Every structure is written in structure tokens, then in C-alpha cells.
Homo-oligomer: A and B are copies of this chain.
Amino acid sequence: MKLATLRTAEKGTTAALVTGSDSYLALPASDVGALLAQPQWRTIVEKVATAGGNAISGVAFAPLLPRAGKVICCGLNYGDHIQEMGRDLPEFPTLFAKYADTLTGPADTIHVHGSVKVDWEAELAVVVGSELFRADEDEARNAIAGYTVANDVSMRDWQNRTLQWFQGKAFDRTTPVGPVMLTADEADGDFEVRGYVNGELVQHGNTSTLVFGPAKLLSYISQFTILRPGDLVLTGTPGGVGMGMTPPRFLNDGDVLTTEIDGIGRLENHFRIHAPVPANV
């Protein structure tokens, strides 16, 4: 099954079951996160799928999890990319946090104010389906609700101002997530992750080369903090980011960033790069 969060006419959102290329059945929750917070969410979706329900089409996708309590990201996680950079594989995952305000919809225009080094990071994201605390890898695997597509868009000038990346990773409404969550029971094996700038392929990786796979990551994080239904874990990006190019390459005003995972879906975001902030901040 594929689930989505749709923008409704009343400026609210609704969770929905995807039934076709532009057809959905409304689910009784304001978004996919609120749906997952109901322990019987699978039964709820199956009932709607069987009995039918309120059909929707012609609407826009919201961020999949507009109110995610935790958005935890992993850096330096693709083995082939790490090795091509001449580094050793890490013993522990490099983790950092975002807030729900950082997220935006899969087709939203992304406005960036105050950065001139806007870079891309195409990623598989894992949606948590049940509470996890100090869980082992098997428990973590069973707690995965599904998978979605994200782009950890990074303001490299801000990211590299200090040792901690947070300020370059947490600009409001700059991380697109969606368009849908593919439920874990229909995801077998690994995913191809691709990123394109104005149609040109710039990133390509397979999640089989992740140093810390989804279950391992969730288990690790749950050793120190509880994960709840609707929390989101971004698994890191393969090689091909703009910062790593010679010369470095960043997004320009008007560029289109496409992020694609076979079997899940595609983000397509236009960028507006606005003037930098005044020098005194």
C-alpha cells in the first residue's frame, strides 16, 4: 500500500490511501503521522480499501509527516561514497536533528533566504510505525511503518560556519518529503536513490551499500531516545552532492531538484534563491 498526506480544499490536510496515479481514498486522520498514531492503523486502512470511501483527486501533496515529533538524520552512511572519499567505514552513525518545520511538500517551491550555497542530498527516509525504546534490530525492523523519499537540502555556507551542521540543515520548509509512504510489507530488498538537477542525474546510489541500514539505525537511535509513530529517520545520501564537485556546484534561482526512489515515488521541487541576510546577523 501507498499512503499520502494531501492538502484539502479547506487548507487542512488528510491522510489518504493511494488508489491510482491521481486517485485517493480519504483516511480518518489529518495526516499519515496521525494515522500511524492509531495502533490499529493497518486495519483502518484495509477497511477503507475494502469498503471504499471518500474518493479524492486533483489535489496537492502535503509533506508526508507535517507534524513529525522527531526528524533524525544520518550522515556519512553510503559505504561506496565513504570509500571513494578515502575514509574508513564509521563505527557509529553520525546523527543530527531537524524539526517538523524543516519539512515541505514533494512538489512545493522551496524558498531559501540568506544562503548562496544550497546543495542537494537525495535520501531514503524511514517512517516509524510503533514506539521503540532500547530496541534490538529485529524489534526495530518490525516497527518500520514504511519508506519514503526525502532530500536533505543543505545550506553549506551555514552548515560549515561551525562544527555543528544543524543551522545549515534546519532552514524552514527546505526538506521535501513524500510523495507517499510505501508500507514496509510491500518493500522487499533495497532501493535505488537518484537525484537530478534540471534533469541531469547528479546522484545515484543503492541502499544495499548503507553502512547502517534502516533497522540498525532505528535500533541505535532508540538506545538514547524514544521513537514514536510518525517519527522520521533520514538514512543519508550517496555520492554526487554539489559540494563534492570540482568546482563545487550549488543550486541557482529557478533550478529544479528531482529526487527519485524506484517503487516509492519522486519529489520535484523548484528553487527560489533569495538575497542573503544582512551582514549583521
Q: Which residues of A come within 8 Å of B, CB atoms?
A: 69-70, 72, 75-76, 90-99, 101-102, 113-114, 133-134, 136, 155, 158, 161-167, 170-172, 219-221, 223-226, 277, 281
Contact = CB atoms under 8 A, between A and B. Distances in A.
A277 B224 CA distance: 10
A225 B101 CA distance: 7
B170 A224 contact: yes
Given A99-B97, A163-B163, A224 B114 contact: yes
Nearest to A164: B96
A223 B90 contact: no
10 contacts: A72-B166, A92-B162, A96-B96, A97-B170, A101-B225, A114-B223, A163-B163, A170-B225, A171-B225, A220-B281
Given A171-B224, A225-B172, A75 B277 contact: no
Contacts of A136: 281
Given A113-B134, A161-B91, A277-B134, A226 B166 contact: no
How many subunits of this chain does the assembly comprise?
A: 2
Contacts of A69: 99
Contacts of A161: 91-92
Contact of A95 (B70, B133, B162): B162
A113 to B, nearest CB: 7
A164 B165 contact: yes
A164 B223 contact: no
A165 B75 CA distance: 13
Contacts of A220: 281
Given A95-B164, A172-B225, 15 more contacts: A90-B162, A92-B161, A92-B167, A94-B162, A95-B166, A95-B167, A96-B97, A97-B97, A97-B98, A99-B225, A114-B224, A133-B172, A134-B277, A167-B221, A171-B224
Contact of A158 (B72, B99, B163, B224): B224
Given A134-B113, A134-B277, A281-B219, A172 B226 contact: yes
Given A134-B113, A224-B171, A277-B134, A166 B92 contact: no
